[in-house]
Chains A and B, each alone.
Chain A
Amino acid sequence: MNRQRKALSLISGGLDSLLATKVIQEQGIHVEGVNFFTGFCVEGHTHAIRKKDQSKEKRNNALWVAERLGIKLHIIDVIEEYKPVLFNPKHGYGAHLNPCLDCKIFMVQKAQEWIEEHGFDFIITGEVIGQRPMSQRKETMPIISRESGADDLLLRPLCAQNLPETKPEREGWVKRDELFGFSGRSRKPQMALAKQFGFEDYAQPAGGCCFLTDETYSHKLADLWQARGHKEYEMDDIMLLKVGRHLRPSPNYKVIISRELGEGNFLQGYRKQFISLKTTSHAGPLALIDGLVCEADIEQAAQLVARYSQGRAEEQVELEVRQLSGETRLIKVKPMLAHEIPKAWII
């Protein structure tokens, strides 16, 4: 008697991985999902921070997809292991600091390690030839299979008919003629298949699953690396790049200024790690100073923060300066005028 075959599906939370998994489930395969968290994944992060977004439903799309499919989902923290991929991607970056091809190879490689450890038979992804300009091209598909070490254990159910047979197909674990031959950027075939399966509500994809594909975010990360003289980062660093206005008045420091209450509350949690500024005479933002600063720098930062307070038009604004030790003092500064803030400061 044939044993039950088991597949591990890379679940991003988008439509393609939802469909790819469903297609394989329909063939009687036991599927479990895996979601690798690099730290740059776009999920509830900013929604959870910003007050204005707190009324929006906050769901983790990968979990939501797994629940729709009735499969287990293993969410794996790969923050540390992912760093070398980002620091030195063999296949280079995309339009910004997104190492998409290396990232995909890395994730499939992690999936391969997982299936070996857990006795699963093959891996599936929602990749579609031509869907993404960097990582999902006909030329990159064999590169991902080869360099990840998954080789012919990597099956892409949505475009399998455009690719050479994989082991699951050859061995008859899945029927090739019940897989698909999607290609190109059009989402219509996926939408039609979703309708066929009865999926009416799904996350809208289009490359928005990683902060590294975002120009502004990548610019902030590049600034961080340049200012520190190395590429090393901690989770807090990459979280803070998602929050507030970032301005660098001088190479030795930058100021992170909250844009609204939710961000202010979030930044408060970092007051033991950074010198912080808060306007006291007027309503205004909370700000963190990232870098080694002298008294003149603190005063300059305070003038900048005052600019974003309700006292921006006043002669003087009072702020509380809080040191890492918790010691506080008050200073009074003249808020900067808009034209006194060079564009080059804005990261």
Chain B
Amino acid sequence: MEKVILKLHRMLCPMPVIKVQNCVKKLTIGSQVEAICTDPGVLNDIPAWCRINGHQVLEKRRDGDEYIVLLQVGDEQQ
């Protein structure tokens, strides 16, 4: 299973979502993406994007100045 780490420091909403979206398009179901961001808005936006597109958020957390979301790619066709 593939795991991609995206370093999205300094990017503000909605750029982190766009980067995650474009990365997920290239991955297969079950792959994971870890987005490391500095915009606190990602803790809402990336999970919202996952919910409407059929992906699963495995973890979201703050680590100092970083906001990290780990997701698993689902089936967008469903």
Contacts and interface: CB of A to CB of B under 8 A. Distances in A.
Interface stretch (A64-72, A139-147, A173-181, A199-207): A64-72
A320 interface: no
B51 A60 contact: no
A108 interface: no
A49 B48 contact: no
Contacts of B45: 44, 58-60, 63
Contact of B17 (A45, A57, A70, A75): A75
Given A43-B13, A239-B12, A269-B9, A73 B52 contact: yes
Interface size class of B (residues with CB under 8 A): 20 to 34
Contact of A77 (B18, B40, B65): B18
Contacts of A88: none
B18 A49 contact: no
Contacts of B52: 63, 66-67, 70-73
Interface in A29-49: 35, 37, 41, 43-45, 47-49
Contacts of A239: 12
Nearest to A57: B44
A48 B41 contact: yes
Contacts of A269: 9-10, 38
Contact of A72 (B13, B17, B53, B65): B53
B21 interface: yes
Nearest to B37: A48
B44 A48 contact: no
Given A59-B41, A71-B52, A48 B18 contact: no
Interface string B53-70: 100000000000100000
A76 B18 contact: yes
A63 B41 contact: no
Contacts of B48: 59-60, 63-64, 67
B34 interface: no
A265 interface: yes
A72 B53 CA distance: 6
A44 B12 contact: yes
A323 B10 CA distance: 20
A67 B51 contact: yes
Nearest to A266: B10
A43 B14 contact: yes
B35 to A, nearest CB: 14
Interface in B13-51: 13-15, 17-18, 21, 38-41, 44-45, 48-49, 51
Contacts of A41: 14
6 contacts: A35-B14, A48-B13, A54-B40, A59-B45, A60-B17, A72-B76
Interface of B: 9-10, 12-15, 17-18, 21, 38-41, 44-45, 48-49, 51-53, 65, 76
Interface of A: 35, 37, 41, 43-45, 47-49, 54, 57-60, 62-64, 66-67, 70-77, 235, 239, 265-266, 269
